[in-house]
Amino acid sequence: MRATRTNTLIVWITAAALAALGYWHEVTRRGLGDPTFVTGYMLFTLMVFLSLYNGRKKLSMISLGRVSTWLSLHVVAGFVAVVLFVTHAGTLWPQGWADRALALLFYLVTLSGVAGYALQLWLPGRLTRSGPEIIYERIPAEIAGLRDAAEQAVTDAAAQSGFDTLGRYYVQTLSWYFARPRYWLSHVFGGRYAEFWLQRRLATIRRHLSEAERSALGRLAELGAAKTAVDAQHAMQSVLKGWTLIHVPLAAALLTVAIWHLILVHVYAR
């Protein structure tokens, strides 16, 4: 979360709200009152607000405020939710299977949220440096286009030179690389294994080729470098998209269990 004027204001308001909450909670507790009902509703309201962020991202075409502001509010509200949860429960690990299920879901949502925020700070900059961003759904078509171009270059080289050395080597070795995204883990962590693999394979066959085939090999090197960049885009975008497939269902499950918890409280405790 960048230190903008809006973010600074959000942090100060949140700090003041937490201080007021802490004071009220202590005064109520010392007065032999029960603050858990109020803090429970506050926590539930905050969970509902946090769940709105995913919907805001999907409705980016509607003017509902800047997404960056929503993200700042989401991060700060998540932190406040942790404080409220511990305050409401009075312990890190409550008694009873139902309360423990709720606590477990809350902690899983929190941890996945922290991980997702870290990924959003880390990966977008690397995506920009890896080249022009490609829409995730178009990546298979991009790879298919590079594969077709590579096969065409090999076919043309065989026709011009009368030799099939490069063609056989492509089928045996290089076609594996152009078939689909490769070295996912290396790309996620910023490694260059794919680049080194491709360079070694190209250098191995170079001395066995005719002049016409070497020209095609240069074309394969260009296509391979483009394929490496596309693979990096695929790896990093798949992590960002895959994270939401964990965090959002967990958050939905948490909200569902929280509603059930609220119903039980009204039925049995009030």
Work out the pLDDT band at 85, boundaries 50, 70, 90. Answer: very high
**Rounded to whole angstroms, how far apart are CA atoms 29 and 31?**
5
CA dihedral 10, 14, 20, 24 (to 10 degrees): 140
**Rounded to whole angstroms, how far apart are CA atoms 225 and 231?**
10
pLDDT at 8: 81
Mean pLDDT for the stretch of residues 193-201: 95
Q: By the 8 A CB rule, do 241 and 116 touch?
A: no
- The candidate with the shortest Cα–Cα distance to 107, out of 260, 237, 257, 236, is 257
What mean pLDDT, rounded, does the chain reach? 88
pLDDT at 127: 86
Q: By the 8 A CB rule, do 112 and 212 touch?
A: no
Burial 34-48 (b: 16+ CB within 10 A, else e): ebbeebbebbbebbe
Q: By the 8 A CB rule, do 254 and 105 touch?
A: yes
pLDDT at 197: 96
pLDDT at 217: 94
User: Is pLDDT at 270 greater than 70 in this prediction?
Assistant: no
Q: Count other Cβ atoms within 10 Å, centred on residue 58.
A: 8
Mean pLDDT for the stretch of residues 229-241: 94
Q: By the 8 A CB rule, do 60 and 67 touch?
A: yes
Length of the chain: 270
User: Is pLDDT at 257 greater than 70 in this prediction?
Assistant: yes
pLDDT at 179: 96
Burial of 210 (0-12, 13-18, 19+ CB in 10 A): middle
Cα–Cα distance list, 22 to 13, 14, 45, 66, 74 (Å): 14, 12, 18, 31, 21
Please indicate whether residue 180 or residue 129 has the higher confidence score (pLDDT): 180
Mean pLDDT for the stretch of residues 199-213: 91
Q: By the 8 A CB rule, do 79 and 17 touch?
A: no
**Rounded to whole angstroms, how far apart are CA atoms 235 and 154?**
28
- The candidate with the shortest Cα–Cα distance to 122, out of 41, 239, 18, is 239
Task: Record the tokens describing residue 163, joined without a space.
Answer: 């030799």
Work out the pLDDT band at 231, boundaries 50, 70, 90. Answer: very high
pLDDT at 64: 62
Work out the pLDDT band at 63, boundaries 50, 70, 90. Answer: low
pTM: 0.80
Per cent of the chain over pLDDT 90 is: 57
**Backbone φ and ψ of 79, nearest 5°:** -65, -45
pLDDT at 17: 87
Mean pLDDT for the stretch of residues 134-162: 94
User: Is pLDDT at 35 greater than 90 in this prediction?
Assistant: no
User: Is pLDDT at 100 greater than 60 in this prediction?
Assistant: yes
Burial 231-240 (b: 16+ CB within 10 A, else e): bbbbbbbbbb
Domain boundaries, the chain: 5-131+242-269, 136-237
